[in-house]
Amino acid sequence: MVKSHQPATWRCGRFLFDFSKRKRPLVMGILNVTPDSFSDGGQFRTTKDAIVQAELMIKGGVDIIDIGGESTRPGAVPVALQEELDRVLPVIDALKNLGVALSIDTYKAETMRQALKAGVDCVNDIWALRQEGAVHVVLECGIDEDKKEGCGIVLMHMQRDPLTMQFNPEYKDVITEVIAFLQEQTDCLMNAGVDRARIAIDPGFGFGKSLEHNLQMLAHFDLFSKLGYPVLAGLSRKSMLGKLTGKEANERVASSIAAAVMAADRGAKIVRVHDVPETVDALKLWEAIQI
């Protein structure tokens, strides 16, 4: 278990997660309101279906629900702004008072803006707030006017973009280069005035990485904690697991849980998963043997 370089808390909108009072990572449940996500595309397209799935996650012990209206799988085609908003805003409105944190999985500044106003607690951005207007949104719209509490921010590393990221990704040293990128982006945010306590980082498994790159990052996942931010591990049902096991996306539950536990053992503070109850159970066992 990684103990050094770990932040004590993470400010996530209405929620302040205190890592000194818990050993297991936060579980972020994936709720894709899309027709084409790689694992569960089309399953929760209607608001009613999304609510049912969210309620199952809450019953299973989820800490954060990550709502996405646009697939970011390799080769995914971008979705128009209004279509994305039409998918996610009704779901946010339905879930905002259920007692768990909500996250918006988007790179569009206007989607961030409207989602924050609608009640989400976190912005989870595969582009690490590099799209026009994104930093301004988390500075201006990510603060509660009464409580002065900022939204959580997850900055992810991605090589190139979703359309091209898996076309022969190359690194001289994947871990060093990912850390350097995340250091640069977190520094930029703090220089812009964002409170460090709001920031989490994600090395971006599967986003412009080969199987070898992904395995190197998982094996040495503890190195990302040296930046001093909560580190998110997003390995659930990813193609790297399919390449190792030969299983289709919906058959990768066991390997996804194993990956989440490996990441927890190497310092992950957040795990982003499809299979919430199973992952929570596995992490409870992992937590029980931590000293």
226 annotated active-site: no
Out of 11, 14, 269, 272, the active site residue is 272
pLDDT score of 140 more than 50: yes
Structure tokens at 248: 């289709």
What's the pLDDT tens digit per position in 248-277?
Answer: 999 999 999 999 999 999 999 999 999 999
pLDDT score of 121 more than 80: yes
Structure tokens at 290: 């931590």
What's the pLDDT tens digit per position in 177-223?
Answer: 999 999 999 999 999 999 999 999 999 999 999 999 999 999 999 99
Nearest of 227, 221, 237, 238 to residue 276 by alpha carbon: 237
Whether the CB-CB separation of 287 and 24 falls below 8 Å is answered with: yes
| Distance separating alpha carbons of residues 26 and 8, to the nearest angstrom | 13
Out of 14, 113, 198, 238, the active site residue is 238
Superfamily of segment(s) 26-286: Dihydropteroate synthase-like (3.20.20.20)
AA identity, residue 128: A
Higher pLDDT, 78 or 163: 78
272 annotated active-site: yes
Q: Where exactly are the structural domains of the chain?
A: 26-286
**% the chain with pLDDT above 70:** 89
Q: Would the pTM of this model clear 0.85, i.e. be above it? A: yes
SS (H, E, C) the chain: CCCCCCCCEEEECCEEEEHHHCCCCEEEEEEECCCCCCCCCCCCCCHHHHHHHHHHHHHHCCCEEEEECCCCCCCCCCCCHHHHHHHHHHHHHHHCCCCCEEEEECCCHHHHHHHHHHCCCEEEECCCCCCCCHHHHHHHCCECCCCCCECEEEEECCCCCCCCCCCCCCCCCHHHHHHHHHHHHHHHHHHHCCCHHHEEEECCCCCCCCHHHHHHHHHCHHHHHHHCCCEEECCCCCHHHHHHHCCCHHHCHHHHHHHHHHHHHCCCCEEEECCHHHHHHHHHHHHHCCC
pLDDT score of 6 more than 80: no
User: 2-11, 121-130, 150-159: lowest mean pLDDT where?
Assistant: 2-11
